[in-house]
Amino acid sequence: MRVLLRLAAVVIGATLVNAQNSTTGNTTDCANYDMDISNSNIDAVLSCIKNNPDPPIPYYLYILRSYQGALAVPSIVTASQIDYEDSAGLLNLTSLDLPDLEQIVATGFFIYGAAKLSELNAPKLRTIRGSLTLNLVGGPAINLSFPSLEVVESGIYLNGTIDRYELRFLQTDTAKRFSIELPALNSTSAVQIFSTGKLDCNAFAASVVNATPAYNAEDGIGSNTSVICNSKKGNVTTFRPSIVASSRGSKMVSNLLLWSVVVGCLSLVA
Ligand SMILES: *[C@@H]1O[C@H](CO)[C@@H](O)[C@H](O)[C@H]1NC(C)=O
Ligand SMILES: *[C@@H]1O[C@H](CO)[C@@H](O)[C@H](O)[C@H]1NC(C)=O
Ligand SMILES: *[C@@H]1O[C@H](CO)[C@@H](O)[C@H](O)[C@H]1NC(C)=O
Ligand SMILES: *[C@@H]1O[C@H](CO)[C@@H](O)[C@H](O)[C@H]1NC(C)=O
Ligand SMILES: *[C@@H]1O[C@H](CO)[C@@H](O)[C@H](O)[C@H]1NC(C)=O
Ligand SMILES: *[C@@H]1O[C@H](CO)[C@@H](O)[C@H](O)[C@H]1NC(C)=O
Ligand SMILES: *[C@@H]1O[C@H](CO)[C@@H](O)[C@H](O)[C@H]1NC(C)=O
Ligand SMILES: *[C@@H]1O[C@H](CO)[C@@H](O)[C@H](O)[C@H]1NC(C)=O
């Protein structure tokens, strides 16, 4: 009995040491919230996350520049940050799957210089406390669909060959290969898209503008450039008008709901 227990302890100890070495080198272990991800430590990282998916400080996932090929990180529901960057734009990650990710609670989601990325899936991602910053310039066709994404506090910044914005119900064109979809977005400070493709910026801007803060032209409160979309098909800079600005124009209807909320509050106060 005693021998068996000792054996078990040794096995557990050995497992921990392995995870330690292979996770982030010599100084960290599964309890560390910084997770560097490389092709050689990926199994250890995934087992750390699987065994402890919800640590007190959510993981910061750093995909190392040298990463090659596809990457799937299941089990992680809350992350502090996801980061993969290279100024030279020579990154070799080809796909990134985050099937369980629901929220990013610190600085945001950054992919910079990933010119081989053709798939990015985060179907349950609902909230990003920081920004969503993706630079995929020079990359292949990609569908950027964030079907559950509601809130991106510090803004959405995308550069790449994004060819079109697809309205879900407007799927007649068979040539659709590049797209961006943010069907659930209802709150973000700014949206800026710089596309070298033929994205329909008018349609795209119209679809996201109501998620941005209102701009009051009279007192200058807010920003009048909260939505920027540049592509071969159009350059659009726009904003959501505030109640004051809209009361003089036809945009009033779109703000009636907001207006009635304000009136409701006023009458409560009175
Ligand atoms: C882990 O580190 C220890 C000592 O630093 C070393 O002896 C061992 O070979 C390493 N294991 C792995 C899997 O790298
Ligand atoms: C960990 O490894 C790095 C180099 O990879 C070295 O500079 C550092 O001193 C090592 N730290 C410890 C505690 O061994
Ligand atoms: C990506 O792959 C290419 C070709 O294999 C290589 O030259 C380049 O250094 C790789 N990029 C990185 C960041 O490792
Ligand atoms: C996208 O391109 C614009 C214009 O070149 C630049 O100002 C912006 O910083 C770029 N954003 C990203 C996320 O690369
Ligand atoms: C993008 O999504 C559309 C519709 O879901 C699909 O037909 C198309 O093949 C996808 N393109 C890529 C590059 O994945
Ligand atoms: C966004 O919409 C979702 C679902 O409709 C709702 O639960 C959430 O509170 C909304 N967020 C904001 C900031 O309005
Ligand atoms: C934003 O406001 C500035 C200063 O009030 C004005 O010069 C500029 O033309 C406005 N831009 C847009 C897109 O409305
Ligand atoms: C949008 O502006 C860019 C330069 O900022 C220009 O290259 C492009 O042709 C413009 N697109 C349209 C449709 O005017």
Please, which pLDDT band fits residue 20 given cuts at 50, 70 and 90? very low
Q: Helix, strand or coil for residue 228?
A: strand
CA dist., res. 109 & res. 102, Å (int): 12
pLDDT of 79 > 90? The answer is: yes
Q: Helix, strand or coil for residue 188?
A: strand
CA dist., res. 37 & res. 98, Å (int): 14
- 57 part of a folded domain: yes
CA dist., res. 85 & res. 162, Å (int): 19
- 68 part of a folded domain: yes
pLDDT of 195 > 70? The answer is: yes
pLDDT at 198: 75
Higher pLDDT, 268 or 47: 47
Of the candidates 163, 159, 166, 116, the residue with the CA atom closest to the CA atom of residue 140: 116
Query: Structure tokens of 127?
Result: 């909230």
pLDDT at 228: 96
Of the candidates 93, 84, 83, 145, the residue with the CA atom closest to the CA atom of residue 115: 93
State pLDDT tens for residues 92-117: 999 999 999 999 999 999 999 898 99
Higher pLDDT, 158 or 24: 158
In the block, tokens 């007192």 appear at: 219
Return the percent helix, strand and coil in the chain, to nearest 5: 25, 30, 45
Distance 184 CA to ligand 6 centre (A): 9
Range with lowest mean pLDDT among 63-67, 175-179, 232-236: 175-179
Taking each helix axis from N to C end, the angle separating 2-24 and 42-51, rounded to the nearest 10 degrees, works out to 120
What residues pair up with 135 in beta bridges, in sequence order?
Answer: 112, 159
pLDDT of 224 > 90? The answer is: yes
**Binding site membership of 237 for ligand 7 (Cβ less than 6 Å):** yes
CA dist., res. 3 & res. 251, Å (int): 78
237 Cα nearest atom in ligand 7: 13
Highest mean pLDDT among 6-10, 13-17, 59-63, 217-221: 59-63
Average pLDDT over residues 211-229: 91
- C-alpha to C-alpha distances, 64 to 19, 147, 173, nearest whole angstrom: 17, 27, 38
Distance 256 CA to ligand 7 centre (A): 25
Of the candidates 176, 126, 181, the residue with the CA atom closest to the CA atom of residue 148: 126
- 26 part of a folded domain: no
CA dist., res. 74 & res. 49, Å (int): 8
186 Cα nearest atom in ligand 6: 1
In the block, tokens 């040794």 appear at: 10
Q: Would you say how long the chain is, in residues? A: 270
77 backbone dihedrals φ, ψ, rounded to 5°? -105, -40
The answer to whether 46 and 73 are in contact (CB under 8 A) is: yes
pLDDT at 245: 44
pLDDT of 235 > 90? The answer is: yes
Number of domains in the chain: 1
Distance 231 CA to ligand 8 centre (A): 6
Distance 27 CA to ligand 2 centre (A): 7
162, 194, 235, 237, best to mutate for ligand 4 pocket (most atoms within 8 Å of CB): 194
Please, which pLDDT band fits residue 221 given cuts at 50, 70 and 90? confident
- 146 part of a folded domain: yes
User: Closest Cα to atom 11, ligand 4: which residue?
Assistant: 159
Dihedral over alpha carbons 155, 88, 94, 207 (to 10 degrees): 20
- 91 part of a folded domain: yes
State pLDDT tens for residues 128-185: 999 999 998 888 777 788 999 999 999 999 988 665 554 433 333 333 445 788 999 9
68 Cα nearest atom in ligand 3: 1
Q: What is the CB < 6 Å shell around ligand 8?
A: 230, 232-235
Distance 147 CA to ligand 5 centre (A): 14
Range of the structural domain that residue 199 is part of: 34-262
- 234 part of a folded domain: yes
Higher pLDDT, 159 or 123: 123
pLDDT of 246 > 60? The answer is: no
State whether the Cα torsion 32-36-37-42 is positive or negative: negative
Please, which pLDDT band fits residue 10 given cuts at 50, 70 and 90? very low
Percent of the chain with pLDDT over 90: 47
Distance 29 CA to ligand 2 centre (A): 14
